[in-house]
Chain A
Amino acid sequence: DIQMTQSPSSLSASVGDRVTITCRASQSISSYLNWYQQKPGKAPKLLIYAASSLQSGVPSRFSGSGSGTDFTLTISSLQPEDFATYYCQQSYSTFRTTFGPGTKVDIK
């Protein structure tokens, strides 16, 4: 299976900060990389698909980039509602999809 890693595993940031989360795949996955946000007690929410496409309704402060094995999720100006855990997911292996371990973003 394709293994996904994320860094950092957690970070502390302030409202208004620019935040970048990295996701790396164990082999090339082209642009088959998706990002989700999960708040405590809630289901995950799709933010970005195909590495850089913003899901409908998601604020434009969220952006994604990368291809191959290295990807980033950027929040341009962190808002109070953005404190959450973020997961990447590779969907290159159609029936062997895997998620990264998550990055928790909390308040500094």
Chain B
Amino acid sequence: EVQLVQSGAEVKKPGESLKISCKGSGYSFTSYWIGWVRQMPGKGLEWMGIIYPGDSDTRYSPSFQGQVTISADKSISTAYLQWSSLKASDTAMYYCARRDDSSGWGNFDYWGQGTLVTVSS
């Protein structure tokens, strides 16, 4: 069974750093792109970026380039999303999702359960 399991909720102060994780299982982790999606409170879905764990090829949405870093450790089938200096506006739910490259249509077929990040002084 394909699963993406994300790390737990975080409460941080502005200016702090943070790294959240997304562990894949039940499939070849190195063969599928993993994307990250932000959902601010009461708002819609925003694509942040995507990584191919096989070679760590990473692409970012222009809106998030320079604001976050996406990485992966294929040895433990885990993708990461990190911030070096959090802002209150980073408060949101963050989802990882697997891109279904077998279909060739770019859809996200499996999603993590989400990690809630709260940034408050």
Q: How many A-B residue pairs have CB under 8 A?
A: 64
- In-complex Cβ contact of B106 among A44, A53, A97 (8 A): A97
A94 touches B106 (CB 8 A): yes
Number of interface residues of B (CB under 8 A): 23
B95 touches A50 (CB 8 A): no
CB-defined contacts of B44 to chain A, threshold 8 Å: 87, 99-102
In the complex, the chain B residue whose C-beta lies closest to that of A43 is: B111
Q: Is B47 an interface residue (CB 8 A)?
A: yes
Interface bin, chain A: 20 to 34
Considering the complex of A and B, which 7 residue pairs feature the smallest CB-CB distances, nearest first? A91-B106, A49-B107, A43-B111, A95-B59, A34-B107, A99-B45, A50-B105
User: Residues of A with Cβ closer than 8 Å to B?
Assistant: 1, 31-32, 34, 36, 38, 43-46, 49-50, 53, 55, 87, 89, 91-92, 94-102
